[in-house]
Chains A and B, each alone.
Chain A
Amino acid sequence: GDSVTQMEGPVTLSEEAFLTINCTYTATGYPSLFWYVQYPGEGLQLLLKATKADDKGSNKGFEATYRKETTSFHLEKGSVQVSDSAVYFCALALRGGSNYKLTFGKGTLLTVNP
């Protein structure tokens, strides 16, 4: 079945460090790919997305490129801030009927220290 594997956390970085969170997927079909962020005690917010191969999604300094050849969608940020501390989820969507279902990775907890 369809699945998403992301690097296990927790990840702890100092402010202004470079961030990479790895995400790979398996899917029967051609998925759309997403990164969601969850701040403590809150729901998930869409961070960025890509719908076809070689697309780069970007938002708030975060980037991820849809790599079909390696089935990957790694999240990167050049300089993290304390406010980036959250849980990050990689997800894929395949169309089922007239709407889409999301398959999530298990999440990666990021802590950024001042």
Chain B
Amino acid sequence: DGGITQSPKYLFRKEGQNVTLSCEQNLNHDAMYWYRQDPGQGLRLIYYSQIVNDFQKGDIAEGYSVSREKKESFPLTVTSAQKNPTAFYLCASSHQYEQYFGPGTRLTVT
């Protein structure tokens, strides 16, 4: 089945540690996206990539980093510089304007 996988579903880290969230797609889409979801705030764009080896900052990129070495993969690193990292993170890929979402990773930092 084609789709987007995110792992793990739940992730727990101590404050001060970097953590990397995985996102893989087998839809052969060029574009991939990372969003952060907080209660009552909808989705906010962190980073996006339109092509391998290229990515752009979204609205809230501070404290995050990404890489796009393969078309299928777009991992997100939440660094210790991110002041409030606890959130639900969603990855998506797109063909033209239609975005397809993964199941999400809930990150809790204590």
A positions within 8 Å CB-CB of B: 32, 34, 36, 41-46, 49, 51, 89, 93, 95, 97-102, 104-107
Q: Does A99 lie within 8 Å of B50, measured CB to CB?
A: yes
Selecting from B65-73, B74-82, B93-101, the interface stretch reads: B93-101
Give the Cβ gap from B105 to chain A, nearest Cβ, in Å. 10
Size bin of chain B's contact surface: 20 to 34
Q: Does B99 lie within 8 Å of A43, measured CB to CB?
A: no
Q: Does A97 lie within 8 Å of B42, measured CB to CB?
A: no
B positions within 8 Å CB-CB of A: 4, 6, 30-31, 33, 40-43, 45, 48, 50-51, 90, 92, 94, 96-104
Q: Does B42 lie within 8 Å of A107, measured CB to CB?
A: yes
Chain A neighbourhood of B48, CB < 8 A? 99, 101
Chain B neighbourhood of A100, CB < 8 A? 31, 94, 96-97, 99
Q: Does A44 lie within 8 Å of B41, measured CB to CB?
A: no
- A sample of 12 more A-B contacts (CB under 8 A), given A46-B100, A89-B42, A106-B42, is A41-B104, A42-B103, A43-B90, A45-B101, A89-B43, A99-B48, A99-B96, A100-B31, A102-B43, A102-B97, A104-B43, A107-B42
Give the Cβ gap from A25 to chain B, nearest Cβ, in Å. 14
Q: Does A106 lie within 8 Å of B40, measured CB to CB?
A: yes
Option from B41, B50, B98, B99 in Cβ contact (under 8 Å) with A97: B50
Interface centre among A44, A51, A98, A105 (most CB of B within 10 A): A44
A99 in contact with B104 given A44-B90, A46-B98, A106-B40 (CB within 8 Å): no
Chain B neighbourhood of A98, CB < 8 A? 30, 50-51
Q: Does A93 lie within 8 Å of B42, measured CB to CB?
A: no
Give the Cβ gap from B74 to chain A, nearest Cβ, in Å. 13
- In chain A, what residue has the closest Cβ to B51? A98
Chain A neighbourhood of B6, CB < 8 A? 43
